[in-house]
Amino acid sequence: MEVSSTLGEFAAVIFDFDGTLADSHAAMVRSYLTWADEFGLDPASLVSFTGMPSAAIAAALLPADQVERASARIDELEVADTDGVVPLPGAVDALAGVPDERRAIATSCTAPLLNARLDAVGLDRPAVVVTRDDVTNGKPDPESFLLAAERLGTDPERCVVFEDAPAGVAAARAAGMAVIGVLTAHTVDELQADWHVNSLADVEFEAIDDGVRITWRA
């Protein structure tokens, strides 16, 4: 039986940023280790919060009276450290292969952090960008993906999301979107997306009349 090389045709493509388009892992680890030390936290306690906004992590791990200061501090540390932040394989081609009116970034980064990392990696910035500053609830809440679809003028069920974190996959599913898991830091079993790729270099993007066709790279 011949197996189709096409994953699907979608009206729009929404990309997570860290771990999907850019490798910021080393910078992130440095920042969070410093932050954990400053606030007396065990760094191991941070592992289960991958992909969640800094404010949500602070709220989960610290007393309420420290959350605002702690959230601001981790943002400060991360914005200041972009050393070694680079595009992941396939990121440049992925953004180039999707027309601007059909692509978006939806990230747990604050706007200043995303701007700092986009400058560091030199990736093209889509017209539609949703950061943590644009929403009330961060991932795994679907709000960021739903807002991206709204700004693109596209029905959520016609969107596909590329995500590397369980919280992001959960958010995409809750938004009613197809999701392709990027195996940057988590396993297939941990992500449980509709499809999985090692990186964006595993797939190709082709603009079609009513959207974008995504196929496996030969």
- Tell me the catalytic residues: 16, 18
Contact 159, 145 (CB under 8 A): yes
Residue with tokens 């709204």: 150
Distance between CA 67 and CA 71 in Å, rounded? 6
Are β-strands 12-15 and 103-106 bridged in parallel, bridged antiparallel, or unpaired?
parallel
Phi then psi for residue 30, to 5 deg, are -60, -45
Contact 106, 16 (CB under 8 A): yes
H-type alpha helices, the chain = 25-38, 54-61, 64-80, 91-97, 111-121, 143-152, 166-174, 188-191
**Which residues partner with 104 through β-bridges?**
14, 128
